[in-house]
Amino acid sequence: MKAYASQQTVIAGFACALVGILATPPAFADAVSDAKTAVAKYAGPQTTWEGPTKGPKPEAGKKIVFLSGDEQNDISHLYGVYIKEAGEKLGWNVTVIDGKGSPTSWLAGMNQAIALKPDGIALFADAASLQDPIKAGVAQGIKFVGLHAAGLPGPQPDLNLFVNIQEDPREIGKAEADWAIADSDGKAHVVVLSHNEYAIAKVKSTATKDEIEKCPGCKVLDYVNSPASEAAQRQPQLTTSWV
């Protein structure tokens, strides 16, 4: 499993050792052992393809818009790059719109995307905050596909998404916590930093926090929701406060 922690959840302060290390209490020996087993699995070689092996034959000549959550976000940017590459192979016209990292900009970007009257819109932005324009687009016959656009993967009829493509953030959040628990031998003091304007980030960071709290010898020092678009302004002060 790949833990995509770079944009949705950041864990700081891994494995801060306790002053005067005591013997590991039996109470959380199993939690540490389980975490170490999980980390060994996550970090091991991945040799089996578990994704789809076939799909429907694509129709040529489609017009697609990708609403990038933020072109400064490497993952969101690369989604656009790869969608354009796939579009070239399929004979599709692909337009990328920069959502610039905030719900207000996503809304402007989505309205711009719908105005282009495409066949489909892919979005790396939280779909729940864009329901009014998405519903308007659906009424025009536009199909919507999410990329990290909801809390969980798969079809999202309540959000008017044909499907939302991502790994299960609950498993990713657990994997992040397991690493901290295993690396600290059950003594991790952890800060969980999230940006909950994305539902996926909230689900992921909550899973991280919950897993750390299951380890009696560990401690969540802080749980912070800080918008990604404000990271440059807020992160230095937050980091200083944690140190």
Taken in order of first residue, the domains within the chain and their CATH numbers are 5-18+28-39+169-227 (no CATH), 63-165 (3.40.50.2300)
- Residue 145: which residues within 8 A CB-CB, separation 6 or more? 120, 121, 122, 123, 161, 162, 163, 164, 165
39-46 long-range contacts, Cβ below 8 Å, gap at least 24? Answer: 39/175, 39/178, 39/179, 39/182, 39/183, 42/1, 42/3, 42/175, 42/178, 42/179, 46/1
pTM, two decimals, is 0.78
For the stretch 28-83, pLDDT in tens is 558 899 999 999 988 888 888 888 899 888 999 999 999 999 999 899 999 999 99
Tell me the per-residue pLDDT of 178-216, one tens digit each, with 9 for 90 and over.
999 999 999 999 999 999 989 999 999 999 999 999 999
- Cβ partners under 8 Å of residue 226, min gap 6: 193, 194, 195, 234, 235, 238
